[in-house]
Copies of this chain bind each other. A is one copy, B any other.
Amino acid sequence: MSRTRIHNLTISLDGFGTGEGQSLETPFGHAGHRLHEWMIATRFGAPIVGREGGSAGVDNALAQQHEPGIGAEIMGANKFGPPGWQDDADWTGWWGPNPPFHTPTYVLTHRPRPPIEMEGGTTFFFLDTSPAEALAVAREGAAGQDVRIGGGPTVARDFIAAGLVDHIHVVQVPIVLGRGVRLWDGLEALEADYEVEAVSTPSGVTHLTFSRP
């Protein structure tokens, strides 16, 4: 059965999944790259920034779960581009000609545009629908495989709050961001619907997994 999954959703101790002041130069606002250093240090994450090598331990094992079995991704408008990308007819995302998705990828936006077929199997589709409707469309596109909710934190929260997510992997970095977009708001008693595990690793982060029994 096709499941809906979230992976590598990284937050600060105070629960912010992105900082304040997102722009073309600062896609994560004042958080900079501090939320993602743990991932860039892994064998999975190093190629994202053009590096070789990387750690091959617990952080890497959990980060790699991002890929297997995924047939489609859904992401929010704020992940696809900086504020105002909808006004740029040539914007095709942050990731160059061969984005790292390699599946149908659904971008939620109130200003949809025609699909964009990229190299490497990624096609961006633009949807102006509810989480449940977007998931139904993405499930079709995933052809029996799982659907990943790719974030950012607002979209992750919306899908979780709607009860649509079967597996959530949150990574907590030991920094206090103070401002930005909170993950946990509106998710009171989330633990009641999931089996929860926590594991800290030598990099200093704590991985939390929420799995539906």
Contact = CB atoms under 8 A, between A and B. Distances in A.
B204 A190 contact: no
A137 interface: no
A28 to B, nearest CB: 15
A19 B50 CA distance: 45
Place the interface of chain A in its size category: 20 to 34
Interface residues of A: mostly helix, strand, loop or mixed? loop
A111 to B, nearest CB: 32
Nearest to A191: B175
Interface of A: 13-15, 172, 174-179, 182, 184-191, 196-200, 204-206, 208
18 contacts: A13-B184, A13-B208, A14-B182, A14-B185, A15-B184, A174-B191, A174-B198, A174-B208, A175-B189, A175-B191, A176-B188, A178-B184, A178-B186, A178-B188, A179-B188, A198-B200, A198-B206, A199-B200
